[in-house]
Amino acid sequence: MNDLAGKHIVLGLTGGIACYKAAELCRALIKEGATVQVVMTEAATQFITPVTMQALSNRPVYGSQWDAREPNNMAQINLSREADAILVAPCSADFMSKLLHGGADELLSLMCLARPIDKVPLLLAPAMNREMWAHPATQRNLVQLAADGATILGVGSGFQACGETGDGRMLEPEELLADVITFFHPKVLAGRRMLVTAGPTFEAIDPVRGITNRSSGKMGFAVARAAHEAGAQVTLVAGPVALATPRGVQRIDVQSATDMLQACVEHAPAANIFVATAAVADWRPAQASDQKIKKDGSGQTPTLAFVENPDILATLARSAQALSGDLFCVGFAAESHDLLAHATAKRVRKGVPLLVGNIGPATFGKDDNALLLVDANGTKELPHASKLHLARQLVAEIARRLPTALKK
Ligand code: CTP
């Protein structure tokens, strides 16, 4: 999937050691289908050469407002009119200050000033030493730049090239890529808050053993990412999985079904959408041993008794919040056969307005899936595609079904 297909991005580089990351960012944008026009300030060329950026972007780099290659000699107009966005990465403290004052003494700031402000968004990825970042002048500039319509992509925290540790590093190329992709997504869930469960649960037998299942969590993580892209505030309650947290998503790690229920009950009051993708274990050992169960050499095997786990989805779907229409609940059904019949029955049994069926064994651990949406009006198939693509379609379907008058 090329998330930036058809997008033309002016990538502006200003003076900072983070210029080395801009090379990777340029590649990442192009891999996602964007075309990239690089514009560098004189200071940026001290850190990385235009040759590198030209080779990566497959276009000559611009660096001067007197560039005679443009027939009208107005690179600032021509380049900005073609752009779907101008992304300045790295954006130095000095360049922020220049933008703030409407400075225009070199091509990049001139272009930012000359861009049609309501058609060509300006995205800034600041990069600087932690003291510079924390300085009141920088913080003041950030507030004013945002008020002037720029989108500030934030900074990373950690070890800095100067040897100090703190806030102010430029975000990593993959983080910036995710932010740019998110930026272009329609905000169909703006102002909404979504709670998502994902992954398996782990039900302890003793301190070293337990019962779990093969759910990878990929579908739930994709739903969380897609909801964030759509403008929702997302809380992801995840069972034990080895997946990176989608950018901008608040993650709560849990182990057992009981822990997952507790986290969901705690966070549901702040949410207005609940999507249960987790493969919650149906049963847990009645008594988890607090010491490792040892074999005694007699050939005797331990006998495990089980109790049923709480049904998280059904619990939230029956809450006063959901019954009053203030929490829109979406269930998933992992079936091995008769998907339509099972999904239809499960929707009613769980008491949810929308149930998403899929064939479990065909999708566990995979990057793709196919979904069957079942609601009170009938069914809709979302054909085989990547989980992220399906998650984005599902988010759009949820947004369409949300009561317009959700109280929160
Ligand atoms: N679910 C849940 N808590 C449970 C069991 C299931 O929240 N204890 C949720 C799942 O996250 C999913 C939906 O309920 O959204 C259906 O899960 P599934 O495992 O397919 O259904 P079960 O209720 O376990 O029914 P069965 O095993 O009989 O198919």
Q: Are residues 80 and 139 in the same domain?
A: yes
Domain count, the chain: 2
Find out whether the peptide bond into 90 is cis, omega within 30 degrees of 0.
Answer: yes
User: Can you give the C-alpha Rg of the chain in angstroms?
Assistant: 25
Q: Are residues 219 and 241 in the same domain?
A: yes
Residue-wise pLDDT tens digits, 326-367 = 999 999 998 989 999 999 999 999 999 999 999 877 777 889
In 3D, which of 186, 182, 173, 245 has the Cα closest to residue 29?
Answer: 173
Q: What is the pLDDT of residue 90?
A: 98
Q: What is the pLDDT of residue 407?
A: 44
Q: Are residues 117 and 249 in the same domain?
A: no
Q: What is the pLDDT of residue 406?
A: 54
Among the listed residues 19, 91, 112, 162, the single catalytic one is 162
Alpha-carbon separation of residue 103 from 76, 93, 115, 206, 243 (angstroms): 13, 14, 13, 66, 44
Cα 173–Cα 169–Cα 253 angle in degrees, nearest 5: 70
Pocket residues: Cβ below 6 A from ligand 1: 197, 257, 276, 278, 280, 282, 309, 311-313, 331-334, 346, 350
Query: 353 is written with which tokens?
Result: 């307005």
- What pTM was estimated for this model as a whole? 0.94
Q: Are residues 162 and 200 in the same domain?
A: no
The number of the ligand 1 atom at minimal distance from the alpha carbon of 356 is: 15
Q: Are residues 153 and 202 in the same domain?
A: no
Q: Which pLDDT band holds residue 1 (cuts at 50, 70, 90)?
A: low
The number of the ligand 1 atom at minimal distance from the alpha carbon of 331 is: 15
Using the 3D structure, point to which of 141, 164, 184 is the last residue of a domain: 184
In 3D, which of 376, 372, 382 has the Cα closest to residue 401?
Answer: 376
Report the phi/psi class of residue 338: left, alpha or beta, with left for phi > 0 and alpha for psi in -120 to 50: left
Using the 3D structure, point to which of 164, 184, 204 is the last residue of a domain: 184
Centroid of ligand 1 to alpha carbon of 135 (angstroms): 51
Q: Which pLDDT band holds residue 297 (cuts at 50, 70, 90)?
A: confident
d(Cα 90, Cα 202) in Å, to the nearest integer? Answer: 43
**Residue with CA nearest ligand 1 atom 4:** 311
Q: Is the pLDDT of residue 408 over 80?
A: no
369: domain CATH number? 3.40.50.10300
Centroid of ligand 1 to alpha carbon of 333 (angstroms): 7
Q: Are residues 197 and 257 in the same domain?
A: yes
Averaged pLDDT of the chain: 95
The number of the ligand 1 atom at minimal distance from the alpha carbon of 350 is: 14
154: domain CATH number? 3.40.50.1950
Q: Are residues 111 and 205 in the same domain?
A: no
- 2 located within any domain: no
Centroid of ligand 1 to alpha carbon of 264 (angstroms): 15
Q: Which of 311, 329, 352 to mutate to test the pocket of ligand 1 (most atoms within 8 A of CB)?
A: 311
Cα 274–Cα 279–Cα 283 angle in degrees, nearest 5: 115
Confirm whether 162 is a catalytic residue.
yes
Q: Is the pLDDT of residue 405 over 80?
A: no
CB neighbourhood size of 304 (10 A): 13
Q: Give, for 223, the enclosing helix (H) or strand (E).
A: helix 218-229
Q: What's the mean pLDDT in 32-60?
A: 98
Q: Are residues 170 and 214 in the same domain?
A: no
Using the 3D structure, point to which of 162, 184, 206 is the last residue of a domain: 184
Q: Are residues 166 and 315 in the same domain?
A: no
**Which range of residues forms the domain containing residue 180?**
8-184
Residue-wise pLDDT tens digits, 362-386 = 777 889 999 999 999 999 999 999 9
| Contact in structure between 181 and 34 (CB atoms under 8 Å) | no
Centroid of ligand 1 to alpha carbon of 222 (angstroms): 19
Centroid of ligand 1 to alpha carbon of 142 (angstroms): 46
The number of the ligand 1 atom at minimal distance from the alpha carbon of 257 is: 8
| Contact in structure between 287 and 302 (CB atoms under 8 Å) | no
